[in-house]
Amino acid sequence: MSLPADYHMHTPLCRHASGEPVEYAKRAVDIGLTEIGFSDHSPMRQDNFDNWRMNFSQLDEYVGKVRNAQKDFPQLTIRLALEVDYFPNGEDWIRELAARHPWDYFIGSVHYVSDSWAIDDPQKLSEWKTRDSFEVWSIYFERLTKAAESKLFEIIGHTDLPKKFGHKPNQDRSPLYEAFLDAAKKSGCAIELNTTGLRKDCKEIYPSREILQIAFQKSVPICFGSDAHAPEEVGMNFPEAISLARKVGYKEFCQFEKRKRTFTKF
């Protein structure tokens, strides 16, 4: 039995996080974690795509910061990863990124439901008012399903992100979940229990218990992430996430080294 690895954390290179990787690592050791992974927002082909990610020219600097943390904390396993934005027809760019460094895993995330709207961006919150929320959820899950099918990712990030600000349409969303989780199972990717939702308006872990239950029935593996944007957020709310996973029936989480998966009991 061990505390699950925290596989989702950022660095100041994404321009909306604070604290250096060595500080995140120190925090991890202080709270008893034995493994973490850095998964900062991946660069886009165009650096001016948005203002919440590193430039492409900073990718080596990012890897260097993670390597420094690995050197300073030999007692902690520190994985090298990225949180990569998935866009339909954007697969070539993700393959180019994958070839640049010996990554341990890629988290595939959908934030954008069009080329200009990231649904979780607080600065674009008013966009929700102009949209039908079920349509947004549907487009989001279509993209998430494609991300799972692409085989470019070991993990799919914050599965039900559209709930972040509390937008929950009345329509039955279970067909969206089923299609996505079938794709995840078929292509062998895991989903994360991402605790940052507990700190947002929705006040819930991503994904909801309903989604996690379907994932368990389909034997989709899980891992855990705090989505820390500051050192004190490392491992935050992990007891709640572990308890949710256990209630649903999960007994193992997955780990990745050089994109190969293993399982550990928790």
- Interface ranges with Zn ion (CB under 5 A): 83, 109, 227
β-strands 190-194, 155-156: how paired? parallel
Q: In terms of CB distance, is 83 or 204 closer to Zn ion?
A: 83
Instruction: Provide, rounded to whole angstroms, the least separation between the CB of residue 157 and Zn ion.
Output: 5
Shortest gap between Cβ of 9 and Zn ion (angstroms)?
8
Residue 27's closest CA among 83, 78, 103? 78
Instruction: List residues bridging with 79 in a β-sheet.
Output: 37
The amino acid that residue 3 corresponds to is L
Q: Minimal distance in Å, beta carbon 187 to Zn ion?
A: 20
- Closest distance between Zn ion and the C-beta of residue 14, in Å? 8
Strand (E) or helix (H) holding 108: strand 105-109
Q: Are 112 and 118 in contact (CB under 8 A)?
A: yes
Angle of the 209-217 helix axis to the 174-187 helix axis, nearest 10: 40
- Cβ proximity to Zn ion, 3 vs 118, nearer residue: 118
What DSSP element (H or E) covers 4?
A: none
Q: Return the CA Rg of the chain.
A: 17
Is the Cβ of residue 42 or residue 145 nearer to Zn ion in the bound state? 42
For the CB of residue 10, give the shortest distance to Zn ion in the complex, in Å. 6
- Choice between 116 and 217, CB closer to Zn ion: 116
Whichever of 11 and 109 has its CB closer to Zn ion, that residue is 109
